[in-house]
Chains A and B, each alone.
Chain A
Amino acid sequence: MTDQSQIGRSPQAAEPSAAQDEMSWRRYGRQMLLPEIGERGQQRLGQARVLIVGLGGLGSPAALYLAAGGVGQLWLSDDDVVATSNLQRQILYTSAELQQPKCNAASKRLAQLNPNIRCYAVAALAESTGSRLLKPDGQAVDLVLDCSDNMATRQLLNRCCVELQIPLLSAAASGWQGSLLLFDYRPSLVSAAEPEPGCYHCLYPQQEEPALNCQNAGIVGPVAGMLGTLQALEAMKFLLGLPSSALGALQHFDGLSGHWRRVALRADPLCPVCHPPVIPTSAPDAASVASARMENRR
């Protein structure tokens, strides 16, 4: 459906050695057996670079599955520390890691799970760090996972992805509800999509925090887990160049009834973020992101 040939194929990437092949089959053989993956797909995953913003209820399963599946580079952004109330759903952490920075605890856990990938802790997202996070070593990541817990971060991350033309896979969870969205902001695909799906801001232009969040509405652990797991699944499909049902659609899950709803996205012709592509006037600044994060902490 979409040409994703540029992902996971950096020009300097060397052919894997026989020893690497053997390691790959031992570790990833169960997924390499699938015709959509195979040796070539596994190599693509191994060369892929993914930024995960937020290492909570969504980011935990997303990072665990991507690390386990051999996604080569994971860049991890979260400035929070592990709290007791996180452990009900944030399965990256244990009771032994209370008060530790999530980035550090997560990097350690993921390295234990799979020493063959690289995990890097990066700064928290803010107005001043946005482009550095998305191009952590000067080169853009292939995909950004929004696993954050507040609207200000979501809007800022969306704006950064639109500006730098990097695909954004966004999940959210609160109460019994969850949602999943994939936006492919690479220029060739933005113009090719018909009808145009727009950006996150087209769908939710409000900058205010929703009335309900994990802190006041609660959150059911497996609902966050499900959406984070789906993020990992759709990320792997995206990195493999497989079509995604999350592209150009809002998928909404109600964990209480078990019902999914799916509607097609439409660009807002007056969206200040993506129409025209670069007018960063109404997005939240670093201070509002920081204050929203403080409010969301316990």
Chain B
Amino acid sequence: MSFVLNGQPRAWQPQLTLEALLRQEGYIGNIPEAPQSDAGSCTASIRAGVAVAIGQQVVPRSTWAQRVIAQQDEIELFQAIAGG
């Protein structure tokens, strides 16, 4: 039983949310938590800009905490790029 993260198989765990996975992977929580008083500030604790897609569709940031990872999910992370 597994899911795929950036092309690599991972052991699936029941009730693992996208938010928890990204926290495990170090994408969330490495800078001080911002007060979660409104929709905008809940994004402030992401270490570096990262977007997430499951099954080729972006999962909006505000829904990561509710999104439970299913077996066979194919998850892709896209680090923000700002250079030019």
Contact = CB atoms under 8 A, between A and B. Distances in A.
- The answer on A and B forming one complex is yes
B61 interface: yes
Nearest to B49: A206
Contact of A263 (B41, B44, B53, B60): B53
B69 to A, nearest CB: 17
A59 B39 contact: no
A172 B81 CA distance: 6
Nearest to B38: A272
Interface string A177-196: 11100000000000000000
B35 interface: no
A269 B63 CA distance: 9
B81 A179 contact: yes
Interface stretch (A10-18, A132-140, A197-205): A197-205
Interface in A48-75: 54, 56-59
Interface residues of A, number: 54
A210 B80 CA distance: 6
A262 B51 contact: no
A107 B49 CA distance: 34
A178 B56 contact: no
B51 A250 contact: yes
A263 B48 contact: no
A149 interface: yes
A146 B82 CA distance: 10
Contact of A151 (B40, B49, B56): B49
Given A198-B60, A269-B60, A282-B40, A154 B53 contact: no
Interface in A160-182: 171-174, 177-179
A256 B38 CA distance: 40
A209 B83 CA distance: 10
A261 B76 contact: yes
Given A266-B58, A269-B62, A205 B40 contact: yes
Nearest to A261: B76
Contacts of A151: 49, 80, 82
A264 B58 CA distance: 6
B2 interface: no
Interface in B40-75: 40-41, 43-44, 46-49, 51, 53, 56-63
Interface of B: 38-41, 43-44, 46-49, 51, 53, 56-63, 76, 78-84
Given A151-B49, A154-B82, 17 more contacts: A54-B84, A56-B84, A58-B84, A150-B82, A151-B80, A172-B82, A172-B84, A205-B46, A213-B82, A219-B83, A227-B84, A250-B53, A261-B76, A263-B57, A263-B76, A266-B59, A268-B62
